Structure 1
């Protein structure tokens, strides 16, 4: 099997692991949420319970350290998931300025200084660049810019924190318009903070030259000839006048590598590590731990003599801190950059050998330390072959080791949660079964039966009310009676056209405009509508009647049934609220409350039909045909209109029609005055049948009240029920965490 196929196979084997890691990530987040809820309830209980032993056991439970561990594990799993989700094997190239990193990348990728800037003075490359091999396309780059927010949070803010510069700028305008704070005199160190401050000044001083890019859409596709403008600090002749890179978050370059048998790999140029003049070190450390499979440390010894300096050790330690779960010595080489006599550095081969022989003395532990000319295509190709051979032979083992380390910590987290849950399960160690039996017996006595207790009191009081309403059912309803009197009074005080001082003139004007044939029926219509509207107010009287009787039932349920504890409402609203509290499984009881809540009497249903039949004298429409205008005229009409009909004739006829209607409506409605009381009695009797007399209804009441006994009989069950509810809710929360914390939920293996 060729190397490209092996690399593809390794990448494909990683994908299912990434999916499994994502599931474990989700489980960890769910566990964290459940632990947080349990912690909140524990804090609530500490304020509620008064038993010293329970308080002591609650205080012994500590989830805060576990939450910190979970947060740390989520970060570790994110790194592991990113590693296994990649479509390429990523090789990071790390080194200080002027060590040959860029020359090595040029040799490996076939790119030139135009795409991968190099220089003999300072760091020339200013942006992390990932270079992908793709033999099918011409060279191009994708540029991701910072947003204004990420620029301030991820780039500028760390400088303010590390250099102790005070309040960080919140907006780009604030960063641009305010001068930089002075570097504190008492900050530890001297050269490193000073170099970092100078780099921050570069961001600040040249903001006008790159800030527009912070609003650009990413990624931007860049052709080969323009790549340098976005990755370099210098022009080809060494002038440090390029500033676009300051707005760039990342660049991905795609090109054809000279060595075609390499498969899906990418080389990552990581400027900033090992150079105190750049303040991006922490971001690059994160990238190293998240995005890199293998590291090449590039070091070019001076030909005049060299040694492993503290800065080299610091660079190694920095990289080592990027991924603690997989020691960096297992996934890194040191490349000692060999130069010849014709180079600016001169022949340094002997110095390369010296550093090779002393690398272990400085504890710079890597898998291999190699000597290679980074500017020589043949030697760098051999170097890449060595790296790829190592990866194809060892990467699967490294992945397993990395996964195993994470798995071990996940198991420890699982066990730590279990340890706290075991404490949580013993917080309430009372004999719940005996306590429950005692409470149930007491409740049964209080609920009672037909001879005593709650059931007897409620049933008897409702029956007494029913009897009272039975005696009233044949008596006129006072509420409706007064409503009728008020409506009749309004009809007599305001008769529409008939009450106007200039009524005759108004009628005459109407005759002149539309004729007497039209004026008379039009006025009849107006008076009919007027009378009908006067009686609309009876709807409110009927509603009040029903609500008054409902409130009598409510008073019984509140005073005798103690239901005022669970609802302070009145009338229909009370029954609606109780109905909503009754669980669906108590179908008969729930329906009984819902039926009485919905019961109502209406004007349109009870009274309107009786009124309308007495308004026929105020209509010119035939009851048979529905037409007007004499096609089938009423036999007993007051006025037969002719061309000689006067305003006086119409006024007199209208007055007769109006008075006749009022005088016939009044006795018709009086016949209905008993019906509201009859309906109210029927409503209450039906309610009693539904919630007292039905088969098995007593059982539904008892089961319903069992859940409310701590409220209804608070003086007896209050504390017991509260304690019981606390225990129940606590154990439910504990069991919920226990279910989430199953070992299988944290298994990274397939």
Structure 2
């Protein structure tokens, strides 16, 4: 039977995996919805400050985004818990009870652990941290998770500061190490809480601070059985002062050990510190544990032998647990602890008979001696058999419960979106028609309006450039003159104070062949470098013409209302504004924005062909000679060639190169003008003469008409744009709030 039960538990765990994956997808969808709702809420807040219509402002204010966002946050937290529940490798049974009721004793009897690992000694609370005890064959060991500095301050220290009104929670351990704020007022309970904060956590900080690192909580290497107590047990001396401190920094301990009933299957027992003392955070820890870590709950209650009966603290504990597990009645058992020697059987019987009167609803209430392993394991068998038979249905019910809440939220979102759609009132068709008619009139056609003005002005500019397309470019002419002057002024060795001495020195360290060739290279580099400045003039010529075109579109086309740029930057800016769907128009602006003339593309190759006279060719004979276009050498170099001969030859070579380059370049003085004309004609053809291009212009200008014609469309267009942006956001939210995106459970 037990083997079959173990197999069923393993199967149940495996069947949970697909549901966990579905929950993950739904969580991602809901996070997207939450983000879209935040955007819509921010837009609403902006519009409330902008709209002039008071009725619109009132309707916008009535849309309840805050409640929806809070509900979504709550459901995301619930889904996270559900996802964690279905991600586990074990079925978990939580053991819950007030301090001193026998909870730890029951855990000892079931797990085989002792007071060293699960303290159950008489006196005050001994178990100091949340423990998860997992059934696993082999040696007993523990995995200890230590708080980070941040989680310690948030989860452990912050509850004290809030409950005792001590001011802002310390943001660092250094801040917490300073003297505690005084407790201004409080009853005996609060005084005891303050004493607990001060005597345990504050004055002993240096004893456990070394364990708290900044960042995220960290898991220590596996801890052997004999080392477990120092992380989970709080030990005190006769005066009540702590004498063990590591547990103060512990967030959670997982203990792996073989249970006495070795055939229980893949289960874990989850223990939390006993409730009822003055240490804060235990109830929150219990709620978090039940919500995320527990599939079924065992409540432990030890009735008194003389004064027995259910008390308010019992019903409060049950209500708190029900907050974390909404179907608690189907997921909980009550164990009434029959204590040997206390003779509390009558009290146990009374509690069992009256449990329903107190609305503590559980699957079964049973009496058992928690200190006896055989009795404790009878309880565990009872619980496990129920768990195996019912957990699948319970999971479905729990998932269905979460699913229903999500569908309710989706309905609420739809209701608020419907209110949002009508916040501006119904569209006035007549007003919209009037706006469209005015836009069409202003845009015009070939005979009048914006289209006629732009088309005519661009064609006029094209005609003007056509007339000057054969004119020399002033920028290029100036650049050539400057470059030639630079060539004559900076001729290197030719203008040296002592050229003969320099050439002789060069010959002495190499040879006449090498000296002549090296000087040719240097002069060639000087010449070429002087003409690189032509690049700036070529670019400026094209930029000047682009500025002429942009001025037409800025003035007659009113596109200056869309950008402050000019020239190339103007066309790039407008191109960026044109939607991709308006491909013809966008391409036209991109062509002119990217068009340029460059020195390397237009001039360089024309200069280089006239530098051959300064290029050395090594003959097969080993002699070096220089050749011109007709292969007539300026100088035949030999080992006896003098410095004077080399200098004279270099002057001839240099003068020939300069005198050939200048007229060669002047033959191309008209090319920048021709290129500029071609650029403009290409642009005009693309943005004016293409079929249906006027419709693309219309579609481009329509959403921008309030900027283009502010006097005519300013306020009406602004309101229309506001309404359109608002409705677009609403539709975006609606697309992410469809019910099928919330479905993870059938």
Q: What's 2:107 paired with? A: 105
Question: Hey, what's the Cα distance between the residues in 2 that align with 1:42 and 1:674?
Answer: 60
Which residue matches 1:335?
335
Pairwise CA distance, 1:230? 2.5
Question: Take 1:85 and 1:603, find their aligned partners in 2: how far apart are those partners?
Answer: 67
Partner of 2:47: 45
Q: Is the 8 A contact 1:127 1:271 kept in 2?
A: yes
1:592-671 alignment, distance < 5 Å: 592-621=588-617, 629-630=624-625, 636-641=632-637, 645-671=641-667
The 3 A distance-change label for structure 1 pair 505 and 118 is same
Q: Who is 2:205 aligned against?
A: 207
- Equivalent-residue separation in structure 2 for 1:45 and 1:626 (angstroms): 88
Q: Which residue of 1 aligns with 2:179?
A: 179
DSSP 3-state at the match of 2:284: helix
The answer as to 2:739 corresponding to 1:743 is yes
Structure 2, unaligned stretches of length 5 or more? none
Distance in 1, matches of 2:76 and 2:624, equals 88
Q: What are the Cα deviations for residues 77-100 of structure 1, in whole angstroms up to 9, with x where unaligned?
A: 333333344443322222334332
Q: How do 1:319-334 and structure 2 match up within 5 A?
A: 319-323=321-325, 325-326=326-327, 328-334=328-334
Q: Does structure 1 residue 257 correspond to structure 2 residue 259?
A: yes
CA contact (8 A) 2:517 2:616 kept: yes
How big is each residue's C-alpha offset from its partner over 1:451-498, in whole Å with a ceiling of 9 and x where there is no partner? 222222222222222232233233322222222222222233333223
CA separation of 1:440/1:307 partners in 2, compared to 1, >3 Å: closer, same or farther?
A: closer
Paired with 1:615 and 1:539, the residues of 2 have a C-alpha distance of 19
1:365, 1:218 → 2: CA distance?
A: 38
Instruction: Tell me: CA distance 1:77–1:467, structure 2 relative to 1, closer, same or farther (3 Å).
Output: closer
Structure 2 partner of 1:198? 196
The answer to whether residue 58 in structure 2 is matched with residue 56 in structure 1 is yes
Residues 1:471 and 1:628: Cα distance change in structure 2 (over 3 Å): farther
CA contact (8 A) 1:199 1:278 kept: no
Q: How does 1:571-610 map to 2 (within 5 A)?
A: 571-610=567-606
SS of 2:493's partner is: helix
Match of 2:718 in 1: 722
Residue 231 (1) aligns with residue 229 (2): no
Structure 1 residue 39, shift from structure 2 partner: 0.9
Name the counterpart of 1:538. 534
Conserved 8 A contact 2:298-2:333: yes
Residues 488-514 of structure 1, C-alpha deviation per residue, up to 9 Å, x if partnerless? Answer: 222333332232333333334334444
State the secondary structure of the residue aligned to 2:532.
coil
Residues 384 and 635 of structure 1, relative CA distance in 2, 3 Å threshold? closer
Aligned positions of 1:562-573 closer than 5 A:
562-573=558-569
Q: How do 1:213-362 and structure 2 match up within 5 A?
A: 213-215=211-213, 217-234=218-235, 241-277=243-279, 279-323=281-325, 325-326=326-327, 328-341=328-341, 346-359=342-355
Deviation at 1:638, TM superposition (A): 4.5
With over 3 angstroms needed to count, the CA separation of the structure-2 counterparts of 1:511 and 1:161, relative to structure 1, is same
- Contact kept, 8 Å, 2:200 with 2:242, in 1: the verdict is no
Which shifted more, 641-650 or 102-111?
Answer: 641-650
Does 2:120 align with 1:118?
yes
Q: Distance in 1 between matches of 2:639 and 2:147?
A: 93
Q: Contact 1:272/1:278 (CA < 8 Å) preserved in 2?
A: no
Q: Corresponding residue for 1:505? A: 501
CA contact (8 A) 1:274 1:315 kept: no
Q: 1:489 aligns with which of 485, 490, 515?
A: 485
Taking the aligned partners of 1:394 and 1:521, their CA distance within structure 2 comes to 98
Aligned to 2:687: 691
Of the three residues 466, 470, 489, the one matched with 2:466 is 470
Q: Does 1:151 align with 2:152?
A: yes
**Which residue in the other structure is 1:732 paired with?**
728
The whole-number CA distance in structure 1 between the counterparts of 2:511 and 2:18 is 94
Structure 1 pair 496–65 and aligned structure 2 pair: CA distance change class (3 A):
same
2:376 to 348, 373, 380: 380
Say if 2:625 and 2:636, in contact at 8 Å, map to a contact too. Answer: no
- What do residues 145-186 of structure 1 show as CA deviations (whole Å, max 9, x unaligned)? 2223222221122222222233333223443x423333x141
Segment drifting more, 588-597 vs 725-734: 588-597
2:555 corresponding residue in structure 1: 559
Is the 8 Å Cα contact of residues 196 and 277 (structure 1) preserved in structure 2? Answer: no
Q: Give the Cα–Cα distance (whole angstroms) in 2 for the partners of residues 361 and 626 of structure 1.
A: 122
**Contact kept in structure 1, 2:613 and 2:626, CA below 8 Å:** no
SS at match of 1:179: coil
**Contact 2:626/2:634 (CA < 8 Å) preserved in 1?**
no
Is 220-229 or 419-428 further displaced after alignment? 220-229
| Aligned-residue offset at 1:217 | 4.8
Distance 1:608 1:381 in 2: 95
Aligned length: 739
The answer to whether the aligner puts 1:170 opposite 2:204 as a matched pair is no
**In the aligned structure 1, how far is the partner of 2:634 from the partner of 2:242?**
111
Q: Structure 1: which 5+ residue stretches go unaligned?
A: none
Q: For 1:110-149, what per-residue CA distance to the aligned partner results, in whole angstroms no more than 9, with x for missing partners?
A: 3333332221222222222222233x43333322222232
Tell me how large the CA RMSD over aligned residues is: 3.4
